[in-house]
């Protein structure tokens, strides 16, 4: 399973909002885009699904931006990834696969699901941003 830039940048947005959460001041996508050197236009596309599922709320005006709709400890990585990436599955199931293969795919899916469901936004925001800026790919 590969998480696309939708999921990765969606997490980036949410981590930035979580870091600013205690101040209760809205953070603009422009500020996030500048801090993480990302496209503001792309972040605008990603914020809509996050707002639609109730994870963020927008504040209009000159000092507007976005705020978390809930405490970071109440938002999981799965809450963020699912609306951006869709269902979590390592492979498309095929009718002619052997039961042992189907069991392996189920176990992999469940393990990924467990990690995403048990990792909160508060957990992610506690780490400094450098781990998200690394240019390494992580392989199993």
Residue 123 tokens read as: 């957990």
d(Cα 22, Cα 95) in Å, to the nearest integer?
50
Contact 61, 26 (CB under 8 A): no
Residue 6 DSSP symbol:
H
pLDDT of residue 131: 41
104-119 pLDDT, tens per residue? 988 998 999 999 999 9
Residue with token string 């390494």: 136
Domains (ranges, CATH) in the chain?
Answer: 5-133 (1.10.10.10)
Highest mean pLDDT: which of 14-23, 41-50, 102-111?
Answer: 41-50
Handedness of CA 106, 1, 39, 33 (dihedral sign): positive
Structure tokens at 110: 């469940």
């Amino acid at each position: 399973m590969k998480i696309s830039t939708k999921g990765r940048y969606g997490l980036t947005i949410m981590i930035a909002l979580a870091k600013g959460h205690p101040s209760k001041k809205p953070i603009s996508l422009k500020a996030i885009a500048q801090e993480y050197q990302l496209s503001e236009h792309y972040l605008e596309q990603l914020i809509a699904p996050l707002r639609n599922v109730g994870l963020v709320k927008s504040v209009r005006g000159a000092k507007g931006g976005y705020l978390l709709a809930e405490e970071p400890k109440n938002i999981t990585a799965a809450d963020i990834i699912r609306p951006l990436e869709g269902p979590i599955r390592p492979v498309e199931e095929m009718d002619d696969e052997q039961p042992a293969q189907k069991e392996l795919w189920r176990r992999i899916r469940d393990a990924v699901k467990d990690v995403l469901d048990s990792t909160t936004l508060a957990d992610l925001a506690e780490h400094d941003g450098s781990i998200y800026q690394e240019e390494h790919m992580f392989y199993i």
